[in-house]
Amino acid sequence: MNWWITSTRSTVAKVKLLSVLLVVALFTACAPGTMPARQFANWCDQPENGLVKARQLSGLNFTLTYQPQQLVAWRNQDTTRQGQGFDGWEYYHLKIGRQGSNRELLKELATTPESYQQLVNHLSFQFQKGISLQAGDTQLPCLHYHFERTYGLSPEVDLVFAFKNTDPEFEQNRRITIEDPIFGTGILNFQLQGADLQTAQAIEIY
Amino acid sequence: MRNRFFLALLGATLFLGACSDPKTGYVDNVALYNQFELKQELEGRYLAYKQQTEKELDSIKVELKALATTLDNSEDKAPEQVREFNRIRQQFLERQNRIQQEEEELSNAYTEQVWEHLNTYLREYGEENEFAYILGGSGQGNIMYSSEQNDMTNELVDYVNKKYRGEG
């Protein structure tokens, strides 16, 4: 009888221990505190983590991805500083491509070499003016902007841009507005949840 | 016995599925278009542009009127004054034509953009909610009758605006 009671107690204790472990595992799975940089880069690209927003319009795919500071730092080979050099900035990456096409997008849109050059010039120097960020009531212009030239090696258009971060704790949701005069879509809005940006910011990479 | 029951159930499901009507709904095109936030935003910009160009034309018109009055009042019309008047009148007419053309182009481009967004969002809505048809009615006889329960206008206005804001 005593043996049975002891055995039952031991089973109950094991179940309790397993439950605690399960809860701990769940918490760590929900909020990954640290992870390798490469894994973090993949994590940021998973749409379920809320940092990627995609839109399809006029036969084009527009994919906007929030780039956490630590990821930008790592991509710039600066892992030790954990993004300190990028403090106060919010980086985004916008990819524009045509559905089911491997041809360079700008070459598809251009009718002559001159119009191709005009598109390149527009993306290099003018497109930035049509990009803004809204956090709550604050509207911010795009201050850093880079159009990645691929010289026909990639079918997509890649843009990286940044805004001054006036809400470093990400208490507000973000709305990125792109006013596009060349792809024929007009105004495009992307909304990112502040909570998702907070989660990404809290992850340390190594 | 059990197998027969499941076969009968499967048959009934397939039969009912085949017999059921395709999901359809209708939307008031005009209301949807007018309540779409992108349309309102672009309309604001168009009106602002129009106001600005009207001001520009008005200032040339004022100059032209002043010259016309001077010419009317003077008994011997100096050829330079007449030439200046004709030059400004020509400039006014050219600018007026160009502005009309620009306004038309802008209006067409904005309308195209609005419909591009609307058509994309309506297609996404139809696919997400498995609609076979979403009909567009504008009170001009293209839909003669539909019960109000098929009217999806309010729902679609909410949907397209959320999509436009990037929330959906």
Domain boundary assignment for chain B: 21-165
Give the residue from chain B lying closest to A186, CA to CA. B113
The beta-carbon neighbor of B116 closest among A58, A175, A189 is A58
B21-165 has which fold? Protein Binding, DinI Protein; Chain A (3.30.910)
User: B-side interface with A, Cβ within 8 Å?
Assistant: 38, 41-42, 110, 112-114, 116-117, 120, 164-167
* Closest Cα in chain B, distance from residue A9 (Å): 44
Same domain as A175, residue A96: yes
Report how far residue B64's alpha carbon sits from residue B67's, in angstroms, rounded to the nearest whole number: 5
Same domain as A106, residue A20: no
The beta-carbon neighbor of A189 closest among B114, B120, B166 is B166
Instruction: Please give the pLDDT value at position B23.
Output: 86
Q: Taking CB atoms and an 8 Å limit, are B110 and A186 in contact across chains? A: yes
* Closest Cα in chain A, distance from residue B149 (Å): 30
Same domain as A171, residue A103: yes
Report how far residue B148's alpha carbon sits from residue B126's, in angstroms, rounded to the nearest whole number: 19
Report how far residue A99's alpha carbon sits from residue A59's, in angstroms, rounded to the nearest whole number: 6
* Closest Cα in chain B, distance from residue A117 (Å): 23
Tokens 């251009």 belong to A110
Domain region containing A16: 1-30
Which regions in chain B score pLDDT beneath 70?
A: 1-21, 139, 141
CATH number of the CATH domain containing A154:
2.60.40
Same domain as A125, residue A49: yes
The complex's ipTM works out to 0.74
Q: Taking CB atoms and an 8 Å limit, are B116 and A57 in contact across chains? A: yes
Q: Which of A192, A205, A201, A196 has its CA nearest to residue A94? A: A192
Q: At what angle do helices B37-73 and B79-128 cross, to 10 degrees?
A: 170
Q: Which residues contact B49 (CB under 8 A, 6 or more apart)?
A: B103, B106
Same domain as A56, residue A7: no
Count of CB pairs separated by less than 8 Å, A with B: 36
B141: Cα separation from own chain's centroid = 20
Q: Which residues contact A98 (CB under 8 A, 6 or more apart)?
A: A59, A60, A61, A105, A108, A155
B52-65 b/e with 16+ CB inside 10 Å = b?
ebeeeeeebeeeee
Instruction: Please give the pLDDT value at position B144.
Output: 79
Q: Taking CB atoms and an 8 Å limit, are B117 and A186 in contact across chains? A: yes
Same domain as A175, residue A136: yes
Same domain as A75, residue A7: no
Instruction: Please give the pLDDT value at position A50.
Output: 95
* Closest Cα in chain A, distance from residue B90 (Å): 32
At residue A91, the 3 state secondary structure works out as: strand
Q: Taking CB atoms and an 8 Å limit, are B116 and A184 in contact across chains? A: yes
User: A-side interface with B, Cβ within 8 Å?
Assistant: 53, 55-58, 175-176, 184-191
Same domain as A75, residue A13: no
Report how far residue B132's alpha carbon sits from residue B125's, in angstroms, rounded to the nearest whole number: 11
Same domain as A58, residue A26: no
The beta-carbon neighbor of A57 closest among B42, B110, B117 is B117
* Closest Cα in chain B, distance from residue A97 (Å): 17
Same domain as A22, residue A83: no
pLDDT by 10s per residue, chain A, length 206: 555 566 666 676 776 766 766 655 554 555 568 999 999 999 999 999 999 999 999 889 999 999 998 899 888 875 555 555 677 899 999 999 998 888 899 999 999 999 999 999 999 999 999 999 999 999 999 999 999 998 888 899 999 999 999 898 999 999 999 998 888 889 999 999 999 999 999 999 98
Report how far residue B106's alpha carbon sits from residue B85's, in angstroms, rounded to the nearest whole number: 31
Same domain as A4, residue A105: no
Instruction: Please give the pLDDT value at position B70.
Output: 87
> Do A182 and A122 contact (CB within 8 A), yes or no?
yes
**Number of structural domains chain A divides into:** 2
Query: A40: part of which helix (H) or strand (E)?
Result: helix A37-44
Instruction: Please give the pLDDT value at position B10.
Output: 56
Same domain as A102, residue A22: no
